[in-house]
Amino acid sequence: MAAKKNTKEAAPPRETIVRFEDVSFEYGHNHPILNEVNFSLRRGMKVTLMGQNGAGKSTLFNLIKGTLAPEHGTVQVVHGVTIAMANQVIAPALRTKTVREFFEASFSKKVYDIDPKIDAVLEVVNLNAPKDRIVSSFSGGQQARLLLASALIQDPDLLLLDEPTNNLDTAGIEHLTDFLKAYKKSCLVISHDAEFLNSFTDGVLYLDVHTRKVEQYIGNYFDLLKEISARIERENRKNAQLEKKIQDNKDKANFFAQKGGKMRLVAKKMREEVEEMEEDKVEVRKEDKTIRPFTIPMQEDIVGPVLTIESYTTMDPKTHTPKKHVKRRELRKQNHLLLKGPNGIGKTSLLEALANGTAEGATIAKGVRVGYYRQDFSTLNFEHTVRESLLSAMEKHDEEKMRTVAAGFLITADVIGKKIGVLSEGQKGLVAFARLVLERPGLLILDEPTNHINFRHLPVIAAALSSYEGAMILVSHVPEFVAQIRIDEILDLGK
């Protein structure tokens, strides 16, 4: 009996909706970003965009959106394809808007009867947000959900997400992950959270900060690491073989050259072969550099309690009503406190009030220097150059010491003269950490210090925080990061 033919046809390839063809882009002659980049995005694909801090990932997003134009090459977007982007932070001009006005600003034309649409996307991002509430009154995690909702309300064919897990608590990340798994349209995500990415991604675009090329891989981030490691091994093996041949030819060429006569022609031919082999050597990928191990020095001559808390206030995330708690806490040298609680309960507000010395019921000992790492980098003056910012963190200006510290955080000569405002979010984070080293604080206050930071740097940062000998208060929603840090006490605002 003849076997039945399988009449089921293979699924047709998905339509390409975005294509980069030999795209080059630079911010002035001294700041090239992309060099003849080629890749494509297909309909329905969920792809991760990865690369070192400052490589140009956000720039690539803006080229896709059309807010930037390439210097050379073309960015082709299929006619009719709609694109929406959830930025990392809410623009200052939108922070004073109401929730309704914030969503209205997502559209170029007036949308009538927008309230039901707002209700629908707020439900998707699991956020209770009265439409007349001012955007700036929301916590960082709640604002992250608003940013995602502002992109979703546009119902785009291609969703661009720039570090969407920043500021989200565990429940928020789980909710976003479930949403992306079920999402039927195309999505391109920038994130340093490997576990989050591996749960839904179909492929990876890797933007190499050294070659300024984009490499396209199928599979998740762990697949990418395996493939790159195998390639590096092959390239190193090939180069080692060529090096041996090159040295052999050089030795023989030198030997024949000394013989004179026709042997000199043989030597010349061998030298030409050496030049050809030198050109055949593979330029092995320079992997993302990691910041050097560092120590945050503690302010000297601190005696007794550094911070005394008699009471503090939390906010109900749903009703936004305050509640006062009377509970005494003392932080002394070598005391590390982890501050926990869901988005919207008031962690950032409490840290800000403590850092500014305006928290009711809390007192910082006289003369104690506070090192404050804010999740939105608002402690940095964006008009200052990196050099000015770092020098201003020092009690006594020391150019050589400042540059040595800066180099450990990958703040190189081509970066140090730039204004803070033009840096990537990840580079701003490294500047903020360099400032903490130079400040020598007695009290360290850190609000989501993993946001925007390349995952390669996080173990180094965790080690520095764990060994810090002053008093420290930490807020972080990344359990893998917190697990690497010595924590002496936990204050859960949600209980």
* 417 to 124, 214, 378: CA distances (angstroms): 43, 27, 20
Q: What is the pLDDT of residue 345?
A: 87
- Give the tokens for residue 81: 């394809």
One-letter amino acid identity for 159? L
- The alpha carbons of the chain give a radius of gyration, in whole angstroms, of 27
Q: How many CA atoms lie within 13 A of 136 on its CB side?
A: 7
Residues 206 and 240 in one domain: no
Q: Is residue 387 part of a domain?
A: yes
Residues 212 and 247 in one domain: no
Q: Which residues contact residue 185 at a Cβ distance below 8 angstroms, ignoring those fewer than 6 apart?
A: 43, 44, 156, 157, 158, 159
* 451 to 12, 146, 362, 471: CA distances (angstroms): 40, 17, 27, 22
Q: Is residue 10 part of a domain?
A: no
- Tens-digit pLDDT profile for residues 215-271: 888 877 677 667 766 776 777 777 778 788 888 888 887 877 777 777 778 778 878
DSSP 95-106: HTSBHHHHHHTT
Q: What is the pLDDT of residue 339?
A: 94
Residues 267 and 351 in one domain: no
Nearest of 89, 78, 82, 116 to residue 100 by alpha carbon: 116
Rounded Cα distance, 420 and 428, in Å: 7
Residues 339 and 483 in one domain: yes
* 91 to 96, 97, 147: CA distances (angstroms): 10, 11, 10
441 backbone dihedrals φ, ψ, rounded to 5°: -75, 160
- Give the tokens for residue 314: 């939390």
Residues 100 and 62 in one domain: yes
Burial class of 405 by CB neighbour count within 10 A (0 to 12, 13 to 18, 19+): buried
Q: Is residue 9 part of a domain?
A: no
- Tens-digit pLDDT profile for residues 315-361: 887 777 888 888 889 999 999 999 998 888 889 889 999 999 898 89
Q: Where are the alpha helices (DSSP H) in 28-139?
A: 57-65, 92-95, 99-104, 115-124
Q: What is the pLDDT of residue 369?
A: 95
CATH number for the domain harbouring residue 45: 3.40.50.300
Instruction: Classify each residue of 233-261 as buried b or exposed e, where b means 16 or more C-beta atoms within 10 Å of its C-beta.
Output: eeeeeebeebeeebeebeebbeebbeeee
One-letter amino acid identity for 28? G
Q: Is residue 291 part of a domain?
A: no
Residues 33 and 73 in one domain: yes
Rounded Cα distance, 163 and 185, in Å: 19
Residues 471 and 446 in one domain: yes
Rounded Cα distance, 381 and 432, in Å: 11
Q: Is the distance from CB of 194 to CB of 221 less than 8 angstroms?
A: yes
Q: Contacts by 387-394 with C-beta closer than 8 Å and gap 24+? A: 387/416, 387/417, 389/420, 389/431, 389/435, 390/416, 390/431, 390/434, 390/435, 390/438, 393/434, 393/435, 393/436, 393/438, 393/439, 394/438, 394/439
The size of the chain, in residues, is 495
Provide the number of structural domains found in the chain: 3
- Tens-digit pLDDT profile for residues 140-161: 888 888 999 999 999 899 999 9
Q: What is the pLDDT of residue 117?
A: 94
Average pLDDT score, the chain: 86
Rounded Cα distance, 290 and 97, in Å: 40
Q: Is residue 259 part of a domain?
A: yes
Q: What is the pLDDT of residue 4?
A: 41
- Give the tokens for residue 28: 């002035």
Q: What is the pLDDT of residue 391?
A: 96
Residue 263 belongs to domain spanning: 235-280
Q: Which of 223, 245, 267 is the last residue of a domain?
A: 223
Q: Is the distance from CB of 216 to CB of 205 less than 8 angstroms?
A: yes
Q: Is the distance from CB of 298 to CB of 322 less than 8 angstroms?
A: no
Q: Which of 223, 249, 266 is the last residue of a domain?
A: 223
Which residue numbers in the chain have pLDDT < 70?
1-13, 29-30, 53, 221, 224-225, 228-229, 232, 279-288
Residues 218 and 239 in one domain: no
- Give the tokens for residue 198: 């591996």
- Give the tokens for residue 96: 């004073």
Q: Is residue 253 part of a domain?
A: yes
Q: Which residues contact residue 254 at a Cβ distance below 8 angstroms, ignoring those fewer than 6 apart?
A: 267
Q: Is the distance from CB of 60 to CB of 209 less than 8 angstroms?
A: no
Q: Which of 244, 265, 280 is the last residue of a domain?
A: 280
Q: Is residue 336 part of a domain?
A: yes
Q: Is residue 8 part of a domain?
A: no
Residues 78 and 171 in one domain: yes
* 413 to 181, 294, 360, 404, 408: CA distances (angstroms): 42, 20, 44, 11, 12
Rounded Cα distance, 428 and 422, in Å: 9
* Sheet strands side by side (includes 370-373): 370-373, 443-447, 471-475, 336-340, 489-492
Roughly what angle, to the nearest 10 degrees, separates helices 425-439 and 399-408? 130
Q: What is the pLDDT of residue 281?
A: 61
Residues 164 and 114 in one domain: yes
Q: What is the pLDDT of residue 445?
A: 97
Q: What is the pLDDT of residue 464?
A: 97
- Give the tokens for residue 271: 């030298």
Q: Are strands 158-162 and 443-447 parallel, antiparallel or unpaired?
A: unpaired
- Give the tokens for residue 150: 């502002």
Residues 241 and 218 in one domain: no
Q: What is the pLDDT of residue 272?
A: 80
Residues 99 and 180 in one domain: yes
Question: Nearest 5 degrees, angle CA 479-CA 481-CA 484?
Answer: 110
Rounded Cα distance, 369 and 355, in Å: 10
